Structure 1
């Protein structure tokens, strides 16, 4: 039987708010096709009393459904596509009340400065936030595909896809060697210009509306986030000049 309990599956479900026992039970139910609590306990190695208590909690969250047959209780995993729809609905509800929440937010001057992103997980968390912050918007990039993807090529490849799904457009000025890794795919919503071979570097600079992110293997940290408006303006002006020259 194909195992569903992979590191990636477990990590994603935990990010959605599943506890570890809930992950085990949900994946087990998907494979069992529905079962009584005793069979789930046997499949997961979790005590039956714990399984039953957890199943009741999961039912209240919409993760499982309960059916009765011949006075016996059977549990079925929520279908994966419906689970996705459940979280999509929750996210839509959050977006619906964002204006009210933002109106309650204390308005104060943000102190500009530098933030050092020390770990790969922190960097991924930052980019995941960008997917929502920049939905239906755009930002610009100067960089190297090799330097940017080097830490986790699979994750950053998926990030490109997720970025396009959120209708985020990007303009990129990349090193010539980036052609080796940079996919020519219109669906990724990118407009790319390449530098000549004489200009080679490993760093990447993401220029947003209010901040700059510098990602480099040569830094003591994974990346540096610069939230200084005047510096952002300078970098954006440099990008515009380069874009016009290279294009």
Structure 2
């Protein structure tokens, strides 16, 4: 019986220990509960008082002492359903009021619209951002300029990126600078011949953002993400013109 899931209801490990002890002991005094669990009386009393306020336990006087007992475990399901209802209201409020309101407060463009990321963790964040952003679009498609020399570094921190993209049915069109590249579902690829090797680079156009990834050193990728509908639109125009040409 995995009682650790009760932490999702706001119960600490100490609360769970005391709660379980009440089922094992039956109606008990603070002294007996503290002795059984090894938790000092003061802490035991405060924890029991909080659980009583939530309806998980109750107590009754017996002589000069209080005897505590656990309520029926169905109360746990009741608390979980209350929490779910509250969370659903929070999600609805985030979608309809809070997030739109915060977006409205943002200036049209600021330094916050340009973000920099470094290393494998940074590249993984950018790749996940591409999937999350494109996944919300009505037409789940984005465009990429990519060189052969960056591909090894690009997917190293997120090796199942392509599988995740396919799972979400996200389309990608790639203009490969130089040879190489593998075909996959929900993807199209065209090649642009170059004179010699092009430095490692990757540009993803996923409105309203453009991500540019390159190598700061031999094994250290860096990325710049610009969030600007105008810049993304301009990059998309260039991509579409070149795509038709190839």
Q: Distance in 1 between matches of 2:154 and 2:172?
A: 21
Contact 2:133–2:206, Cα closer than 8 Å, also in 1: no
Confirm or deny: 8 A CA contact 2:130 2:206 kept in the other structure: no
TM superposition shift of 1:102: 3.5
Structure 2 unaligned blocks of 5 or more: 10-22, 25-86
Q: Does 1:168 align with 2:170?
A: yes
Q: Is the Cα contact below 8 Å between 1:149 and 1:156 reproduced in 2?
A: no
Aligned equivalents of 2:159, 2:214: Cα separation in 1? 17
Match of 1:240 in 2: 240
Residue 213 (structure 1) aligned with residue 215 (structure 2): no
Report the alpha carbon displacement of residue 119 of structure 1 after superposing the two structures with TM.
2.7
Listed as ranges, the matches of 1:179-218 within 5 Å are: 179=181, 182=182, 184-186=183-185, 189-198=186-195, 200-201=197-198, 202-218=200-216
Q: Which consecutive aligned stretches of 4+ in structure 1 deviate over 4 angstroms post-superposition?
A: 59-62, 93-97, 218-221
Structure 2: distance between partners of 1:149 and 1:99: 41
Q: Which runs of 5+ in 1 are unaligned?
A: 1-33, 35-54, 63-70, 73-89
Question: Which residue is 2:104 aligned to?
Answer: 107
Match of 1:150 in 2: 153
1:206 CA displacement: 0.5
Matching residue of 1:58: 5
Using structure 2 for the length normalisation, give the TM-score: 0.53
CA distance in 2, matches of 1:173, 1:232: 16
Q: Is the strand fraction higher in 1 or 2?
A: 2
8 A contact 1:132–1:166 mirrored in 2: no
RMSD: 3.5
Aligned mates of 2:196, 2:229 — CA distance in 1: 27
Q: Structure 1 pair 122/240, CA: closer, same or farther in 2 (3 Å)?
A: same
What displacement does 1:99 show?
4.2
Q: TM-score, normalised by structure 1?
A: 0.53
Answer with 165-174 or 210-219: which moved more. 210-219
Q: Residue 148 of structure 1 aligns to a residue in which SS?
A: helix
Please give the alpha-carbon distance, in whole angstroms, between the structure 2 residues aligned to 1:224 and 1:116: 5
